[in-house]
Amino acid sequence: MSLLVVGLSHRSAPVSVLERASLNADAQLKLLQDTVAAEPAAEAAVLATCNRIELYADVDKFHAGVAELSTLLAQHSRVGLEELTPHLYVHYEDRAVHHLFSVACGLDSMVVGEGQILGQIKDSLARAQDLHTAGRLLNDLFQQALRVGKRAHSETGIDRAGQSLVTFGLEQLSAGADVQRWARGKKALVIGAGSMSSLAAATLARSGVAEIVVANRTFERAERLAQILSEGDDTDVLARAVPMDSVPVELTRADVAVSCTGATGLVLTADAVAAAVEGRTGAPAVEDTAVRETAVREAGETPLPGAGTAAGGDENCPLDLSSVSSVPSGFSVMGEAAVAGMDAATLEQHGAWAAGGTVVDRPRETGRPGPEADAELIGALAATATRVGRVPERRRPEPVAEVPRPEPVLFVLDLAMPRDVDAAVHRLAGARLVDIESLADASADAPMAADVDMVRRIVADEVAAFGAAQRAARITPTVVALRSMAAEVVAGEIARLEGRLPGLDDKHRAEITQTVKRVVDKLLHAPTVRVKQLAAEPGGAGYADALRTLFDLDQETVASVSRAGNSTTTEKNRGPA
């Protein structure tokens, strides 16, 4: 069996696609059940956050696993497979482990170093355990990911490399000003009472806002959060709860509004925000035409083509992948190639190349441009240059003078996925909206702290250690089966001895039995210890097969030991009910 992850995130997909592909709790449960019911997958776990959807599985067939997991993601996310495919990524074996460990450390987060992802990984594991879809591999993987994430936060300053999504969002709302100075004395409306909304409310309270109003569909949860805020020792904020139908009125009173709910539709429309701005200023909140025209120009602009990459920088690699790991047992694939761009023969060649570093002579793939196509392209380009006198190029529109925008009177932070606030609010004069999409744009230019390098080294070390542990664990059932067979041989020989020497007293029988067991244990000790060490090294998977062949071990016996170990591990990791 092999570890496979298929997913999409803010790094591979636009927010509009992530928004539509988001999975609610019921959809996640159904996805897990359908995944383990599918033929290629034995275990499954879903990691779904506001900026990523990832399906982890233990599969016995790579191609069938990728196809099945991609199809299931499309079905349950309600985004067609053809539309979803260009944004998917696939990580396999060690690269899948490396990816999850990086996610756990906050290296793959929208805001580098944020720690909230650890709680989401923990919830993902608990969900898979409750549904019994996590076996030995995913239990070990997710438990280790949590330990790696905690180690990164305790041993490095990765927390300084970025802030929580809430803090980062407030910094964007304040346009770079000191958040505490900007927030002091303001009135805030928090819509939702879940974990992210609670974090936002607590952050606002510590930042010095004068009042926080909490609105939630379940009024009791809003009351509970308001009570917690009011009774906090580190703040003196005034907090109260209101029902959801009071949001329009409270929005008129608020300076800052933060929304993060599980709603599938919009919670705040552009008209509602415009009405709130008008209620505060007494003047209509007209649409900012300069902003709208800029958005139209940007929407109609075709991005310039990027330079192609070949083989991820690994010389003579037979796969044209965007990222190929230097670790022999894993690789990653992006976009179209993740689902349809590889065949079994190519993967076999990649395995041979990765194991030996040898050059593999691979015929050109069907449909890939060859020298003839290049010659045609060059000829067509030359003809065009001759006709128009220059090589055609795309020019960006000339910059236009920006019309000063009025200072906002209402600041709106939308942390939900799918979005709670109509994107048209961006174009309203008098309001400033920061949402997941604008946070992604802002975080792309955020400086990386030096501690990130330390975390990357931790991740690399932990991936190697996890791989060694998993390789060693794979031979354990074979070793257990060998020792069980030896114990049966000893028991049979002692029984035969008792038949031939019926007058043997208990003392001598016990001494003979112990002597025979010690001889067997001493003969097996060195080879079983050594074979575990060898199996933990890269390329050590064949030692289990060699052991089974040398001692003629029954395959079903080894499999039963493995199944018993999986069951024990699952129950142990689940903990007491």
Binding residues, by number, are 49-52, 109, 114-116, 120, 192-197
Apex 251 CA angle, 247 and 253, nearest 5: 125
**One-character DSSP codes across 3-43:** EEEEEEETTTS-HHHHHHH---HHHHHHHHHHHHHSTTEEE
Considering only CA atoms, which of 132, 121, 139, 126 is closest in space to residue 37?
132
Residue 119 bridge partners (DSSP)? none
Feature table: binding site for NADP(+): 192-197
Q: What are the CB-based long-range contacts (under 8 Å, 24+) for 14-19?
A: 14/87, 14/437, 15/417, 15/435, 15/436, 15/437, 15/440, 16/437, 17/79, 17/83, 17/84, 17/87, 18/51, 18/52, 18/53, 18/417, 18/436, 19/417, 19/418, 19/419, 19/436
Distance in angstroms (rounded) separating the CA atoms of residues 87 and 80: 12
Neighbour-count burial for 224-237, b at 16+ CB within 10 Å, e otherwise: bbbeebeeeeebeb
Feature table: binding site for substrate: 49-52, 109, 114-116, 120
- Burial (CB < 10 A; 0-12, 13-18, 19+), residue 35, is buried
Does residue 50 have an active-site annotation? yes
3-state secondary structure (DSSP) of residue 184: coil
- Alpha carbon separation from 363 to 312, 319, 321, 347, 496 (Å, rounded): 19, 11, 16, 14, 64
| 168 touches 127 (CB < 8 A) | no
Residues with Cβ within 8 Å of residue 101, at least 6 apart in sequence: 144, 145, 148, 149, 459, 462, 463, 466
3-state secondary structure (DSSP) of residue 436: helix
Residues with Cβ within 8 Å of residue 46, at least 6 apart in sequence: 23, 28, 31, 32, 53, 54, 55, 56, 124, 127, 128
Among 50, 105, 260, 317, the one annotated catalytic: 50
> Active-site residue numbers?
50
